[in-house]
């Protein structure tokens, strides 16, 4: 029995993949920052006006309520998606159980409770945030 037949190969492969994605994303962000810096230095050397830094402009002109509203929209969207995934997993499990006549498949429905609960939590957070934003606005 070799290492490739180990039951731990899948979790190790997933961990390695996630680690690889994080490393590649950090390398990408480094290169983007480096290119922006080189562009700004070249503009300074030539005496040209500096290109606008879009991140600084967005943060300087942002309205706190607008940011809260965007966060609330993201919470609402995430909640709806999580609830849909949970309900979809449950329906999939029920239909698969009905088709194959094997009740062990209902474990998938139990696993569908996790995203369903996360989605409900996100929608509760969304409701609380919109309530607090409306209270601050009045």
> HEC states along 34-96?
HHHHHHHHHHHHHCCCCCCCHHHHHHHCCCHHHHHHHHHHHHHHHHHHHHHHHHHHHHHHHHH
Q: Could you give the percent of the chain with pLDDT greater than 90?
A: 34
Range with lowest mean pLDDT among 9-23, 57-71, 118-132: 57-71
Summary mean pLDDT of the chain: 83
What percent of the chain lies above the pLDDT cut of 70? Answer: 84
- Nearest Cα to 125, choosing from 62, 80, 89, 64? 80
Confidence at residue 16, expressed as pLDDT on a 0 to 100 scale:
92
pLDDT for 129 beyond 90: no
What is the pLDDT, as a whole number, of residue 30?
95
pLDDT above 90: residue 69? no
The rounded distance, in Å, linking the Cα atoms of 134 and 95 is 43
CA–CA separation, 48 vs 99, rounded Å? 69
Q: Which residues contact 80 (CB under 8 A, 6 or more apart)?
A: 119, 123
User: Sign of the CA dihedral 90, 81, 111, 100?
Assistant: positive
Q: Residue 47 — left, alpha, or beta (φ > 0 → left; ψ -120 to 50 → alpha)?
A: left
Global confidence as pTM: 0.52
Residue 104 confidence class, pLDDT cut points 50, 70, 90: confident
3-state class (DSSP) for residue 7: coil
Average pLDDT, stretch 116-126?
91
């Amino acid at each position: 029995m070799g290492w490739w037949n180990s039951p731990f190969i899948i979790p190790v492969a997933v961990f390695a993949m996630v680690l690889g994605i994080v490393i590649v994303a950090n390398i990408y962000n480094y290169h983007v920052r480096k290119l922006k810096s080189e562009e700004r230095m070249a503009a300074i050397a030539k005496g040209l006006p500096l290109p606008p830094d879009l991140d600084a402009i967005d943060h300087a002109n942002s309205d706190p309520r607008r940011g809260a509203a965007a966060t609330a929209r993201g919470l609402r969207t995430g909640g709806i998606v999580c609830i849909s995934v949970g309900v979809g997993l449950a329906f999939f499990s029920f239909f698969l159980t009905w088709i194959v006549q094997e009740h062990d498949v209902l474990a998938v429905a139990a696993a569908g409770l996790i995203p369903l609960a996360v989605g409900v939590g996100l929608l509760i957070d969304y409701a609380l945030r919109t309530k607090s934003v409306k209270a601050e606005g009045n």
